[in-house]
Chains A and B, each alone.
Chain A
Amino acid sequence: MNAANYLYVSALLFTIGAIGVVVRRNAIVVFMCVELMLNAANLAFVTFARINGNLEGQVVAFFTMVVAACEVVVGLAIIVTIYRSRRSASVDDASLLKR
């Protein structure tokens, strides 16, 4: 098997995550799709680290994981705050600035 196949999987997962962010309306699902995109990028980093025989790609993937964890914590707190005031987790309902 060609080691670059991992990169193709990574690209596919990233694209699927991007579609999810645009198409889905539930804020939590949108958030999960963002996580999917971050994970896909991590897979690419790890694969490139292996192709180049260099651990720096893995270090970057590690940093990405930490930043993703922070992002999840703050993002979910924002979703809970919005849910508390609007009783809805849909991204379409938080459109007060539009009117």
Chain B
Amino acid sequence: MISLAINVGQTQTPEAVLFWVLGPLAVLAALGMLLVKKAVHSALLLAWVMITLAIFYIAQDAAFLGIVQIVVYTGAVMMLFLFILMLVGVDSADSLTETIRGLRPIAIVAAIGFGGLMISLLDRATLGRQLVGLAAANEAGNVQGLAGLLFSKYVWPFEIVSALLITAALGAMVLAHNHRVIARPTQRDLATARFRSGSLSTAAGLPGPGVYALHNAVDVPALLPDGSASEASISATLKARGDVIDSRPFQLKELEEDK
């Protein structure tokens, strides 16, 4: 039987208001993270959960951790997530079809069991304890108290964690390094390929765009000796956009005196 009646001490009223406003919002945002289709929306909801947790930390006399939570999580980690999302493709919506049959009901049942177990175990973890509060521990300030512990009792884990950070940075660099499988073609290779490509019409390079007395721009095709416009002289992008001007008005007209 799960009893929710453990009592480890009461908090002040303002904190209760804060909790009952932000706590349900955090849980709702976390649930939304599961249900929304797009990864970007998930990331935004997670950022909200993390901000809520930062406020909870500050409310619980952990000012340093609250600030670090905002700087590290909502600042660095979420930016990294969004950056990778941009790289992988923002529009990549998750397919919500089940690939393993019956996975979702099993997961939900297991989660309810697990959550119920944890909540019922919280009873025992807090059994017979009173809320001591951090007023005494934070007497010299929260940062000073944490620093005192970090640099005395926990100095060895602290060093190991710094080594871990450096290793992780190196590992990420090695993983993200892009090896070229094929050597980049040199100018000589490109020239050889041009001459061996069947027709020699483009061997000397493509013609430049139209340069006329009346008009001089990249959106006018050059005129070939027979008077026709050269398709190859304009960028394919301009052609696709439909920004190409007809070159006929710029053709050489018969001079007035010749008539």
Contacts and interface: CB of A to CB of B under 8 A. Distances in A.
Interface of B: 4, 6-11, 15-16, 19-20, 23, 26-27, 30-31, 33-34, 39, 42-43, 46, 49-50, 53, 56-57, 60-62, 64-65, 68-69, 72-73, 76-77, 80-81, 84-85, 87-89, 92, 94-95, 99, 103-104, 107-108, 110-112, 114-115, 118-119, 122, 125-126, 129, 131-134, 136-138, 142, 145-146, 149-150, 153-154, 157, 161, 164-165, 167-169, 171-172, 175-176, 178
Nearest to B108: A19
B147 to A, nearest CB: 10
B137 A11 contact: no
* 6 cross-chain pairs, A with B, having the tightest CB-CB distances, nearest first: A53-B132, A1-B16, A70-B168, A15-B115, A77-B175, A77-B172
Contacts of B42: 29, 32
A29 B10 contact: no
Interface string A36-49: 10010011001111
Contact of B94 (A25, A36, A80, A83): A25
B30 A16 contact: yes
Contact of B7 (A2, A18, A25): A2
Interface string A7-33: 111011111111110111110110111
A97 B51 CA distance: 40
Given A35-B46, A46-B65, A51-B132, A9 B111 contact: no
**Interface majority SS (helix, strand, loop, mixed), chain A:** helix
Q: Specify which of B64, B81, B134 lies most central, judged by the most chain A CB atoms within 10 Å of its CB.
A: B134
Contacts, number: 243
A96 interface: no
B122 A8 contact: yes
B118 A47 contact: no
Contact of B34 (A14, A19, A42): A19
Nearest to B32: A16
Given A4-B8, A74-B172, A80-B84, A53 B137 contact: yes
Contact of A81 (B6, B80, B175): B175
Contact of A13 (B11, B26, B39, B150): B26
A81 B177 CA distance: 9
Q: Specify which of B62, B68, B112, B172 lies most central, judged by the most chain A CB atoms within 10 Å of its CB.
A: B62
Interface string A69-99: 1111110111111011000011010000000
Given A6-B19, A15-B114, A42 B53 contact: yes
A35 to B, nearest CB: 7
B81 A28 contact: yes
Contact of A9 (B23, B46, B64, B157): B23
Contacts of B146: 55, 58-59, 62
A58 B80 CA distance: 25
Given A7-B126, A55-B134, A70-B168, A23 B77 contact: no
B30 A36 contact: yes
B107 A22 contact: yes
Given A26-B94, A66-B164, A3 B107 contact: no
A2 B6 contact: yes
Given A2-B8, A4-B7, A51-B9, A76 B94 contact: no
